[in-house]
Amino acid sequence: MRWHASAAAFGLWACLTGSPFAAASSSEIDPAVEHAFHRAQVLCEADGSRLWGIDLCGPLLVADPATRRVVANRDGVLTPLRSTGALFLGTLPDDVPIANTAVDWNGRRWTMLMSPLPDAEPALSILLMHEAWHRVQREIGLGAVNADQDHLDTLEGRLWLRLELRALAAAVGATDTDAHAVALDDALAFRAWRRMRCAGAGPAEDALERHEGLAEYTGRVLARDRDLVFHLVRDLQAADAVSEYARSFAYATGPAYGVLLDRHVPGWRRNWDRRGGLAELLPAAATRPTAALDATALERAGARYGIDGVRLEETARDVERQRAIAAWRRKLVDGPRLVLPVAGASFSFDPSRVTPLPPEGAVYGTIRVATTWGVLEAGEGGLLSRDWQQLAVSRDGITRSADEIRGAGWVLRLAPGWGLSDAGPSGDWTLRRSDDAVARPAD
């Protein structure tokens, strides 16, 4: 999976240790980092703007989350970086989240990679081209759109998604024409059935597949991986065991449908209006009226992929999900809470730890937020509102030190001029400019 961070770009974040940057001098850069810059140049030059009609080469930096030091292939525009010959060294300010992403900083739009980098292929090449695509996606009419996937945390949504993943693995890996046709038809049927039964599923899934799915597709087809099909089938099979799909499913379905479109509809990227769904471009999907879907036929098709076992697993999971949701609701809805304004903030988070909590929003198990009031890092859950305007964390166990405020599973570093404030009758606390704030370490 890839790593992202921005107000509009959704993706995976984690705090890692270990630096790829040599400590002896600014001119000594880890060979693995230098190799990544070289590999990125080789891959995008090999593409030659053919895949998307745009050059993927451009500003690239590698950032170390432990030290916030960066190595870049371009100098800064607003603030010069330290030249080491072909590369440049600098330090990111605290309000720029570090992740695998596209980021605006120092007068440029960069592809950012987070150290340590993958040490094996094709993982490194996939990551490089995945993130290079995110840097230019707005320019090709595929800007990121926030889309909730509440249905993919339900028994019904997960059941039919897992069957679709299994059928896609069979379709992508099939060497027999008839077996390929059956598996592809099954995948499209499971997809259509899920979308018919889960309100709003189609537009929401399409939006995330256009964003993360196409980034992952780009990474895979430009990685020059001789075993692309083998690796894609393996990863589709691994995706069948993912615990949370709400923000992660498109990393599997997007490249699968992209590869299938390359096989069945050459040139689809040029002719696509870039506002619809990927699977709908396949000829089999265009000839299937949704109204003709039949529950009995879907169950028969599902038997080819172990539907009974999947249903048992998802039924048991749903019982645990209801317990988890009740616990999250007690902690992050009923309070006591600290509620932070996050409109326009930069985010980084782990998409495999996102639990929908409708109607309020979704719980992000790991999330970092950076904005004008400072930086919050939460490793044990934060409730991000559906409109991405506020983030709530538990107010239990708050303590203060000279430079930070800590709560149960989170740490807050406030910018100068900000402090905690009682929000009033709701019982929540929030942030205010320090001249309005009440400095309180705990209840």
- Residues 130 and 158 both lie in one domain: no
- Residues 170 and 301 both lie in one domain: yes
Token digits of residue 187: 């995948």
- Residues 282 and 156 both lie in one domain: yes
Instruction: Report the C-alpha gap between 399 and 441 in whole angstroms.
Output: 5
Q: What's the sign of the alpha-carbon dihedral 90, 92, 97, 103?
A: negative
CA angle 79, 80, 85 (to 5 degrees): 160
* The domain boundary residue, chosen from 105, 140, 175: 140
- Residues 354 and 395 both lie in one domain: yes
Residue type, 50: R
Instruction: Report the C-alpha gap between 374 and 403 in whole angstroms.
Output: 11
What angle, 0 to 180 degrees and rounded to 10, lies between the N-to-C axes of helices 201-208 and 177-197? 120
Please provide the DSSP assignment of 81-105 as one string.
PEE-SSSEEEE--TTS--SSEEEEE
Token digits of residue 416: 């100068």
Say if residue 221's pLDDT is above 60: yes
Instruction: Report the C-alpha gap between 443 and 432 in whole angstroms.
Output: 18
- Residues 295 and 168 both lie in one domain: yes
- Of 17-21, 143-147, 208-212, 247-251, minimum mean pLDDT range: 17-21
Q: Provide the 3-class DSSP secondary structure of residue 117.
A: coil
- Of 57-66, 83-92, 288-297, 406-415, minimum mean pLDDT range: 288-297
- pLDDT tier, 6 (very low <50, low <70, confident <90, very high otherwise): very low
Question: Is 427 a member of any domain?
Answer: yes
- Residues 106 and 162 both lie in one domain: no
Token digits of residue 288: 């299937």
Say if residue 425's pLDDT is above 90: no
CA angle 294, 296, 302 (to 5 degrees): 100
Question: Is 87 a member of any domain?
Answer: yes
Question: Is 442 a member of any domain?
Answer: no
| Percentage with pLDDT > 70 across the chain | 89
Amino acid 436: pLDDT: 54
**271 phi-psi bin (left φ>0, alpha ψ -120 to 50, beta other):** alpha
- Residues 283 and 344 both lie in one domain: no
Could you tell me the CA-to-CA distances from 385 to 3, 388, 389 in Å, in that order?
Answer: 22, 5, 6
Amino acid 12: pLDDT: 37
Q: What is the pLDDT of residues 73-107, one digit of tens each?
A: 999 999 999 999 899 999 999 888 888 999 999 99
Q: Rounded mean pLDDT of the chain? A: 89
- pLDDT tier, 442 (very low <50, low <70, confident <90, very high otherwise): very low
- Residues 166 and 266 both lie in one domain: yes
CA angle 4, 115, 89 (to 5 degrees): 105
Amino acid 18: pLDDT: 37
Question: Is 398 a member of any domain?
Answer: yes
Report whether 287 contacts 183 (CB < 8 A). Answer: no
- Residues 347 and 283 both lie in one domain: no
Report whether 102 contacts 6 (CB < 8 A). Answer: yes
* The domain boundary residue, chosen from 120, 140, 160: 140
| Percentage with pLDDT > 90 across the chain | 74
- What range does the domain containing 426 cover? 334-433
Question: Is 274 a member of any domain?
Answer: yes
Instruction: Report the C-alpha gap between 235 and 395 in whole angstroms.
Output: 39
> How many domains, in total, are found in the chain?
3
- Residues 295 and 365 both lie in one domain: no
Give mean pLDDT, residues 33-37: 96
Nearest CA-CA partner of 85 in 43, 150, 37: 37
- Residues 295 and 180 both lie in one domain: yes
Question: Is 9 a member of any domain?
Answer: no
CA angle 31, 231, 249 (to 5 degrees): 100
* The domain boundary residue, chosen from 284, 305, 326: 305
Token digits of residue 102: 């596209």
End-to-end CA distance of the chain: 40
Give mean pLDDT, residues 284-300: 79
Question: Is 420 a member of any domain?
Answer: yes
Amino acid 287: pLDDT: 67
Q: What is the pLDDT of residues 388-403, one digit of tens each?
A: 999 999 998 889 887 8
Question: Is 12 a member of any domain?
Answer: no
- Name residues whose C-beta falls within 8 Å of residue 263's C-beta, 6 or more positions apart in sequence: none
Report whether 144 contacts 388 (CB < 8 A). Answer: no
- Residues 90 and 210 both lie in one domain: no
Instruction: Report the C-alpha gap between 353 and 360 in whole angstroms.
Output: 17
Token digits of residue 278: 């990927």
